[in-house]
Structure 1
Amino acid sequence: MNNNASHPGITAILLAGSRPGVDPLAAAAGVILKTLIPVAGQAMINRPARALIDHPAIDRLVILTQSPQPFLNDPATRWLGDHPKIRFEASGRGIASSLLPLLERADIGLPLLVTTADHVLLDMAMLDQFVAQARGQDIAVAMVERTTLLARYPHSRRTWLKFRDGWWSGANLFWFGSAKAARIVGLWQEVEQDRKKGWKIIAAFGPVALLGAVTRISSLSGGIARVGKRFGLAARLVAMDQPEACIDADKPDDIVLIEEILAKRG
C-alpha cells in the first residue's frame, strides 16, 4: 500500500464491459469478448491490467464488466481473479453510470484513475506522466495532439477535436481526484450516448465552450480549466508526450499497428 499521506494510493478502474450485440472484432477472433482478443500473444486486457497493478502509485485495480466469468473461465485471464490487488465489480448501463456509485464508496477510495481494457499500449511512462500532472486536480483528462501522433505514426487514423491550440484525440485516461468530480460525471452520463460526437459533448458544457471551439478562440487546455471552474472544481488537460497514448484497439488496423509497436518494444 502507498502510505504517503500527501499522495494517497490510487484506485485504478479498468473498463472491460461489452456493448450490446456482437462485437465484430471479437467475432473475427473467435472469442466472446473484445477484451479477450489475443494481441501479440496476450489477451487484450492483460497488458493494461499488468501496467496498472505494477505501477507503484496504484494500490488496487477494479475491473468493471458485466460478469467476471468470461475472464475467470479463460486460462489466459484467470490470473486476474487470483491477484490480491484486483477485484471485479459489475458495470452499469454506461461508463458514467458505472463510475458515479464508485465515487461515493468508501471501500473503493479516491483518487480514481480510469482507463479502458483496449488501451493495450499503456505503460509506466504514460502512467508516470498522467499521475504526476493529474495529482491535485478534481478531474483531469489525457489527450494527444495530432502533430505528436503523426510525427511518428503518419498513417494512424483517429477522431480529432479542433481547437486553437491544436487538434486533439482522447487517450482514454481520466482522473477523478475528489467527490466533486461527480458533477462532471453526472453530465457525462447525460451525453454518454454521443461520446463519439465531439460537438454534442462540447455543447453540453455550455454555449461559451461551443462558441470557443467553433471559432477556435479557445484552447482545449484553457477550455477544460474554465469548464472545471464553472462546476466549482479544478480541471486539467494532460497533453501526453507519447503518441501511443491515443492508439487503442478499436479497429483491425489498430491491432496491426499495436502489434508492430509491441514487436519493436521487444
Structure 2
Amino acid sequence: MTVTALVLAGVRPGKDALAEFAGVSHKALIPVGGVAMLDRVVNALRASGRVGRIAVSIDRPELVTTEGVEIIRSKASLSESVAAAVAQLGTPLFVTTADHALLEPEWVRYFLDNTPDRTVSAALARDSVVMASTPGTKRTFLKLADGAFSGCNMFYFRDGEAVKAVEMWRSVEQLRKKPLKLLQKLGPRAVLDYALGRLTLARGVAAIERLSGVSAGVVEMPFGRAAVDVDKPADLILVRQIVEG
C-alpha cells in the first residue's frame, strides 16, 4: 500500500533568518551535500517504496523545480497549509517538512509500518536515542514520567476526521518550543501531573485526544537522527557535517 505525502516547504511570516544565513530565499532550498533540502526529502520519500503521490506546499510555487511533484500554495501557517492539503489531496496523508534534511527511506517505512489505528499519529524519539546518534545536536525535549521525547516531523492523517487535529495544531504550533505553555494548553490535569512527575506519554496523548476530539497515537522511532531538523545555523552546520563527513 502506498500513501500520498505532503512536504511543507513554505516560509512563516517575517524574515527567515536561516535562509538569509544560507543566502537563499527559502530554507527548503538550502543545499546539503550539494542537494537542496527539499529534494533530499522528496528523494527519500520516493526511495521508501511507500509513497506514491507527492505534493509540496510552498508560498512561491515557481521556486520548485523538482520533477514529478504537485504544488500546493501554502497558507499563513503550517496548520492551515495542512488543512488545505487534506482538502485537496484527501487521506490517508503522510506529512513531513522540507527541513528534515536527514530523512531516510527506512524511517518512512518504519513509521508507516508501525502507525497505530488512530485518526492522527506522530513520530517521537527518546532523548537517549537522539543524543546517542547525534551527540552534537541540541533538541527541545518534553520531559515526562516515562522518558523525555522530541518530535520527528513525521505525521499520519488516517481520514477526514484528522482535520480536527489540524485545528488543534493551529492553536498550539507556536508553543512547540515551550513545553510548559504547551502543557497549559492541554489542561490543568496535565499541568498538575507534570508538576508531580507523573505525566506519562500515554496521559499526554489522552489529553490531546480530549482537546482535539479525535483518536491520536505515537510511533516511537529507534532512529535518533529522525529528530534532527534544520531550524538554526548550528543545525545546518551539523547536518552538513553528517552528510558530507
In structure 2, the residue matched to 1:46 is 39
In structure 2, the residue matched to 1:251 is 232
Task: State the SS of the aligned residue for 1:104.
Answer: helix
Counterpart of 1:224, as a letter, is V
Specify every segment of 5 or more residues in structure 1 that has no aligned partner in the other structure, as ranges.
Answer: 1-6, 72-77
Counterpart of 2:101, as a letter, is V
* 8 A Cα contact 1:53 1:60, kept in partner: no
In structure 2, the residue matched to 1:171 is 152
Equivalenced residues, count: 245
TM-score where L is the length of structure 1 = 0.84
Residue deviations 1:117-142 (CA, integer Å, cap 9, x gap): 00001111111111012152211111
Task: State the SS of the aligned residue for 2:153.
Answer: strand
Distance 1:39 1:164, change over 3 A: same
Distance 1:226 1:192, change over 3 A: closer
In structure 2, the residue matched to 1:148 is 129
Higher relative contact order (CA 8 A, sep 6+): 2
Counterpart of 1:194, as a letter, is L
CA distance in 1 between counterparts of 2:190 and 2:15 reads 36
* 8 A Cα contact 2:165 2:214, kept in partner: no
Distance 1:56 1:217, change over 3 A: same
In structure 2, the residue matched to 1:200 is 181
Q: What percentage of aligned pairs have identical amino acids?
A: 34
Residue 90 of structure 2 is aligned to residue 90 of structure 1 = no
Residue 182 (structure 1) shift:
1.7
Counterpart of 1:35, as a letter, is A
Specify every segment of 5 or more residues in structure 2 that has no aligned partner in the other structure, as ranges.
Answer: none
CA distance in 1 between counterparts of 2:218 and 2:202 reads 5
* 8 A Cα contact 1:62 1:87, kept in partner: yes
* 8 A Cα contact 2:124 2:221, kept in partner: yes
Task: State the SS of the aligned residue for 1:178.
Answer: coil
CA distance in 2 between counterparts of 1:51 and 1:155 reads 23
Q: Once superposed, what is the RMSD of the aligned Cα atoms?
A: 1.9
Residue 110 (structure 1) shift:
0.9
TM-score where L is the length of structure 2 = 0.91
In structure 1, the residue matched to 2:84 is 101
Task: State the SS of the aligned residue for 1:168.
Answer: strand
Distance 1:210 1:181, change over 3 A: farther
- Partner residue of 2:9 out of 16, 24, 38: 16
CA distance in 1 between counterparts of 2:27 and 2:70 reads 20
CA distance in 2 between counterparts of 1:180 and 1:118 reads 27
Following superposition of structure 1 onto structure 2, how do residues 21-32 of structure 1 map, counting pairs within 5 Å? 21-32=14-25
